[in-house]
Amino acid sequence: MKLSEIARMIDLSCVQANSSIEEIKEVADFAIKYNCICAFALPAHTPLLVDLLKNHSDIKVGGVVGFPSGGSTTSSKVHEAKELLNMGVNELDMVINIAWLKNGQYNLVTKDIKRVVEAAGETPVKVIFECHHLSNDEIVKACELAVEAGVSFVKTGTGWAPTGATLENVKLMKDTVGDRCEVKAAGGVRDLETLLNMNKLGTTRFGIGIRTAKAIFENFKCDTTAY
């Protein structure tokens, strides 16, 4: 696999509460340098990221909805999605309502996702499960509900929980959704070997912070023979 191919699977992430303006600029510079597929910032900083990448149509800007808890009302998620779309984002990553899922309120979960998907129109929506808080059965159920609601991707986590993507949960998600949607891994993808192993399991997008992205790309440059 070429470095350029890996770059086209990476959603650069700058969505921590303490992510600085300088880090957002660094993310944009890195995305431009390697032609990464997408970059994310928190909603208040999304206009800056859109502006930094406005002359690079190959690089998408993503927006986060209901982030990071997923506990916003459905109407507020819809409003946030529309606001982000008006800012110029090309993709939306929304957090599932974890409490509703765990409580078996599946109709509410599906409606919550579907309303955002409808608001997004042709814009792809990725649904974040925060797998750290879910059992395997709950992950499977979340996949089924997300597919029913019309998502483009199911995603492991926000990067805010203690754990995120594992080989086990990305395999479980891919086995469940099949070809009905794609899988994005985020939280815990710390090295090139993990990324490539997850890709072999069917993961096609990776949410990665700038420090980890730099380390992965440097690792690739130093030892391409293994890949």
Q: Please give the average per-residue pLDDT across 39-53, as a whole number.
A: 98
Residues in Cβ contact with 128 at an 8 Å cutoff, skipping those fewer than 6 apart: 67, 70, 93, 94, 95, 96, 155, 156, 157, 158, 186
| pLDDT reported for residue 52 | 98
- Residue 106 scores a pLDDT above 70: yes
Full-model pTM: 0.95
pLDDT digits (tens, 9 = 90+) for 178-204: 999 999 999 989 999 999 999 999 999
Q: Please give the average per-residue pLDDT across 47-76, as a whole number.
A: 98
| pLDDT reported for residue 223 | 60
Banded pLDDT at 220 (limits 50, 70, 90): confident
Catalytic one of 60, 77, 155, 174: 155
Catalytic residue at 179? no
pLDDT digits (tens, 9 = 90+) for 9-38: 999 999 999 999 999 999 999 999 999 999
- Residue 225 scores a pLDDT above 90: no
Q: Please give the average per-residue pLDDT across 63-82, as a whole number.
A: 98
Tell me the pLDDT of the chain averaged across its residues: 96
| pLDDT reported for residue 226 | 45
Banded pLDDT at 1 (limits 50, 70, 90): confident
d(CA 51, CA 64): 17
Residues in Cβ contact with 42 at an 8 Å cutoff, skipping those fewer than 6 apart: 14, 15, 17, 19, 64, 67
Catalytic residue at 58? no
Catalytic one of 60, 77, 126, 184: 184
Beta bridge partners of 64: 93
Catalytic one of 11, 60, 93, 141: 93
Q: Please, what CATH class does the domain formed by 3-222 belong to?
A: alpha beta
Banded pLDDT at 219 (limits 50, 70, 90): confident
Q: Please give the average per-residue pLDDT across 82-111, as a whole number.
A: 98
| pLDDT reported for residue 227 | 46
Catalytic residue at 137? no
Residue 214 structure tokens: 């730099």
